[in-house]
């Protein structure tokens, strides 16, 4: 496995700011998201990465480019956000008006993906990372990255519910005595190089 995997959630969009489920809809970074994504570049500049994987969606590609890795990008379709199906564009409160007990990490989305579907894609990415002997980075989406971190440490996708992740936040997957571990979670990029 790679020594470490840097996870970066894309910058803020109008939909993410409003809490709307944004799967495959192309919603661009807003001004705050562009600023935060550009702010990733100075602290991430010291990272030496053998592989930079990115979701195909423009908000992730722009975040990656603003962070300084646009020239090294490899698009990975398995890093697409959860397919929310019938719930695309809705907030959790709007969904719970129809289905009061709904929870994405348990139930998935009608017309979209189940938690197991997303976990299978995350497992594919982890397997791909197994070919990298040094550090890698992933630029992707909140729910997908939360499931990926859960699968990294061998837990079910539902564990992602316990891993809150802000826009333009960084996390670091690593190892502890040869076992997969989460070293940093939901931090500003400066946390990678504490003073």
Q: Which residues are catalytic?
A: 10, 81
Which two tokens mark 146?
Answer: 């939360």
Q: Are 82 and 113 in contact (CB under 8 A)?
A: yes
Token output for 152: 């990294």
Q: What is the C-alpha to C-alpha distance for residues 89 and 80, in angstroms, rounded to an integer?
A: 16
Closest CA to 81 of 117, 45, 51, 127: 117
The burial class, CB within 10 Å (0-12 / 13-18 / 19+), for 72 is: middle
Alpha-carbon span 13 to 32, nearest angstrom? 8
């Amino acid at each position: 496995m790679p020594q470490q995997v840097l996870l970066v959630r894309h910058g803020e969009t109008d939909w993410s700011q409003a809490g709307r489920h944004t799967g495959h809809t192309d919603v661009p970074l807003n001004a705050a998201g562009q600023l935060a994504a550009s702010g990733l570049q100075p602290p991430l500049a010291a990272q030496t990465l053998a592989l930079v994987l990115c979701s195909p969606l423009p908000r992730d590609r722009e975040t990656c480019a603003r962070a300084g890795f646009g020239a090294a990008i490899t698009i990975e379709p398995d890093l697409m956000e959860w397919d929310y199906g019938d719930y695309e564009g809705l907030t959790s409160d709007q969904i719970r008006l129809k289905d009061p007990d709904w929870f994405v990490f348990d139930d998935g989305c009608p017309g979209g993906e189940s938690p197991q579907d997303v976990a299978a894609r995350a497992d594919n990415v982890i397997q791909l990372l197994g070919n990298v002997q040094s550090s890698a980075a992933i630029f992707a989406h909140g729910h997908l990255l939360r499931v990926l971190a859960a699968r990294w440490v061998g837990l079910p996708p539902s564990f992602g519910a316990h891993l809150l992740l802000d826009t333009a936040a960084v996390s670091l997957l690593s190892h502890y005595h040869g076992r997969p571990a989460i070293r940093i979670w939901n931090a500003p990029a400066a946390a990678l190089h504490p003073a």
